[in-house]
Amino acid sequence: MPLKQDARGRWVFRYYADGVRTGRRVQVTLPPGTTHAEALTEYHKRMAGAAARRGKPSLVRLTLEQAVDEFLRERKPHLSPVTLARTEQILRREWLPRFGQKRVDALTAADVARYQTERLADGVKASTINLEVYRLKNVLVRLVAWGWIEQNPLRPKAVQMLPAPERRTDFFSPEEWKEFIGKVSAEAVPILRAALYTANRIGELCALRWGQVDLEGRRIRVEMPKVRRTKVLMISRALYDVLSALPKGTPLAHVFTRADGSPWEPHSVGRAFRMARPRPELSVHSIRHTAASWLAIAGTPLRTIAAILGHTQLAMTFRYAHLSPEAVSDAVDVIPEMERGGVGTPRRHPDAGKTLAAEGLLPS
């Protein structure tokens, strides 16, 4: 069988990109969550493409426009609709007008530097430009993996990312949350409370159906289309109270509905949110940040927070690390305690858990 699974459960296969054994062999690792049937379909598609190119040289004369077309076609099954649309927008609106007809193997770090300079002159934020450069680099990496080009024209470390301020994480204070939840429209309260208690994205909650909720077993299964994964969360006491108060429908019925019975849409939740938010810089996504931030303040390990958020990389969770300085103090105190022959119980800020317990995120 050409397919196998690695230690992380991802499907992996190898094939000759040019359809001949004397050519370069390419290894493909499919995203987590890919089924065996999907992996087999991808394998056969790659093999068919290689067979069509049998004996032909690699397409080193590929233009960037052709490369982008190929990249988007190949990545479509693996990206969420939102990510795919954003990626296509960046590549087609920003990169192709400047370099679309240039050969991929002729791209240089100087081209990227010029792009960065032009975008800065247009008033675009450095963090946004860095994301756009990352998208281009991702295209080139995938082209090498697929055997469409022999090597990446942008050598490692040749492209310098722009210095950008650390992304700000806005979240509610406990007082702001109480004021907000008392002011927002009554029909929006259940889904907004659920967003806090689960740290889920609003789109994930809007799509949630009763077949994914096990009230008796106190578990909820959440589909995360952004990362093409599923996570299972325990239902806290506060979340149980929210869910059990809702009219329960068939397994395919939406969990969160409006007063007229229609399911919530992310844009309608956002509209209700904006009408009651205490500060203009807060967004619906700030509720997710609030859950993570409160957990960090309470001394919850970052790996646990990452699991709750569904982060695929722990680095994504590090933005909350600065919120729990007591945890760092506890860690360094362990060293002399080990020297003395034992490990003490880590301390936690005495008031840190009270608000979380009141909100159902920690046991009271």
Q: Are 46 and 27 in contact (CB under 8 A)?
A: no
Q: What is d(CA 195, CA 204) in angstroms, rounded to the nearest whole number?
A: 9
Q: Tell me, what DSSP letter sits at residue 325?
A: H
Place of tokens 């858990």: 353
Assign domain 174-359 to its CATH superfamily. Intergrase catalytic core (1.10.443.10)
| End-to-end CA, the chain | 53
pLDDT level of residue 264 (50, 70, 90 thresholds): very high
| pLDDT over 70 (residue 357) | no
Which tens digits make up the pLDDT trace of 117-169?
999 999 999 989 999 999 999 999 888 877 777 788 998 788 999 987 766 66
C-alpha–C-alpha distance, residues 104 and 338, integer Å: 56
Record the pTM. 0.58
Greatest mean pLDDT among 30-34, 80-84, 182-186, 294-298 lies in 182-186
What pLDDT, on a 0 to 100 scale, did the predictor assign at position 343?
46
Q: What pLDDT score was predicted for residue 91?
A: 95
DSSP 217: T
Selection from 21-25, 74-78, 184-188 with the highest mean pLDDT = 184-188
pLDDT per position as a tens digit, 326-337:
555 554 555 565
Checking if the pLDDT of 306 tops 70, the result is: yes
Residue 345's DSSP bridge partners are: none
Q: Is the pLDDT of residue 108 over 80?
A: yes
- In tens, the pLDDT along 76-99 reads 877 777 788 889 999 999 999 999
Dihedral sign (CA 174, 203, 248, 186): positive
pLDDT band at 355 (very low <50, low <70, confident <90, very high): very low
Residue 264 is which amino acid? W
Mean pLDDT of the chain: 81
Q: How deeply is 218 buried, as exposed, middle or buried, from its count of CB atoms within 10 A (0-12, 13-18, 19+)?
A: middle
Identify whether the C-beta of residue 183 lies closer than 8 Å to the C-beta of residue 346: no
* Domain range list for the chain: 4-146, 174-359
How confident is residue 325, by pLDDT bands cut at 50, 70 and 90? low
Q: Does the domain made of 4-146 have the CATH classification 1.10.150.130?
A: yes
